[in-house]
Structure 1
């Protein structure tokens, strides 16, 4: 189990670093959008390449930050339902969710995206809009994003099994901002009760 946890920690570290760096593309996309809008309004000049660059930058962030988002537990979850279950049930829900839904979905997307990308690359597919950008790099990002997400899914499965076997502590602060805030609120309430400040 220790060897698997080391692999998991490497996956986490790599996807975190990639995610943090790729997230800066949001700023680049905002700057591109602002510059494009200014040029269009002031000089009455527009370019499809600038518009498509914005879409590609947002697509890159969405796809290549998905693994990091999964790692920090910030994907949309139905916490209002799962929080009613005991911890052991919540862990099983997470584990089975990753194994039965996340992993098959990622593999299906990779399988179908590969010919989608290779055909586009083989013909050097270009935008249908005049002056647009090549399309194959954006299609390649779909494969990269889902490969990263699948690898992170493996890491999450390893960690979930380790938690269930008692080899890894279940750190509530790693269950997303909402869970971390709730845990902190409970901690402060308990502290206040001990000090006699809260009823």
Structure 2
């Protein structure tokens, strides 16, 4: 395996590991928002921003954690046959099926780019009473999709290396 491809895998894996480890604490942000929502509804006037902010936090949480999830292999697989295969058979199947994931992420990126550019162009806001700008969460989504795409390519390269008898 050429050195630049091994370097690519190390850089992408390292970056996604750091992002994933940081973002996993986002659950506490969501808990804080929802706790404040409960307290404000019980003791004060209900906050307009809590529901939508919790949704934005959840989107950031799972989109930014997606690449780390792919890296750890904690994504969903049909284990009926896969669990009984050896590492080489798994690498063959993963190297083939990763193209479906890459295609899917490419389609999402295309639509996400169009939606994000629309958001910037027209200063798109949510139609709720709070009316936050939508471009920040769309930018986060685009970043997460790009990182998942880069991680999928990294996983493909690791599968090809495994098929050649090399571990990265």
Q: Could you state the TM-score of these two structures normalised by the residue count of structure 1?
A: 0.79
Work out the CA distance in 2 between the residues paired with 1:69 and 1:85: 22
Q: Identify the structure with bigger relative contact order (alpha carbons < 8 Å, sequence gap 6+).
A: 2
Classify the secondary structure of the residue corresponding to 1:48.
Answer: coil
What runs of 5+ residues in structure 2 fail to find an aligned partner?
none
Distance 1:47 1:122 in 2: 29
CA distance in structure 1 between the aligned counterparts of 2:87 and 2:147, rounded to whole angstroms: 28
Matched residue, 1:137: 136
Residue in 2 aligned with 1:13? 14
- State the partner residue of 2:75: 75
Distance in 2 (CA, whole Å) between partners of 1:139 and 1:48 is 21
Q: After TM superposition, list the pairs within 5 Å mapping 1:87-126 onto structure 2.
A: 87-99=87-99, 101-126=100-125
Residues 1:25 and 2:26 aligned together: yes
Q: Does the aligned pair in 2 maintain the 1:53–1:133 contact within 8 Å?
A: no
Shift in alpha-carbon separation, 1:141–1:9, aligned structure 2, 3 A: same
Q: TM-score, normalised by structure 2?
A: 0.93
Structure 1: which 5+ runs fail to align? 170-199
**In 2, Cα distance between equivalents of 1:22 and 1:12:** 15
User: Following TM superposition, where does structure 1 have runs of at least 4 consecutive aligned residues deviating by more than 6 angstroms?
Assistant: none
For the aligned residues, what is the CA RMSD? 1.4
Q: Does 1:165 align with 2:164?
A: yes
Alpha-carbon distance in 2 for matches of 1:47, 1:8: 44
Separation of aligned partners in 1, 2:126 and 2:49? 9
Instruction: Name the structure 2 match of 1:39.
Output: 40
Cα separation, 2, equivalents of 1:168 and 1:63: 28
Which has the higher Rg, Structure 1 or Structure 2?
1
> What does the per-residue CA deviation read over 1:150-173, in whole Å, with 9 as the maximum and x for residues that have no partner?
00011101111111101117xxxx
Q: Greater shift after overlay, 145-154 or 132-141?
A: 132-141
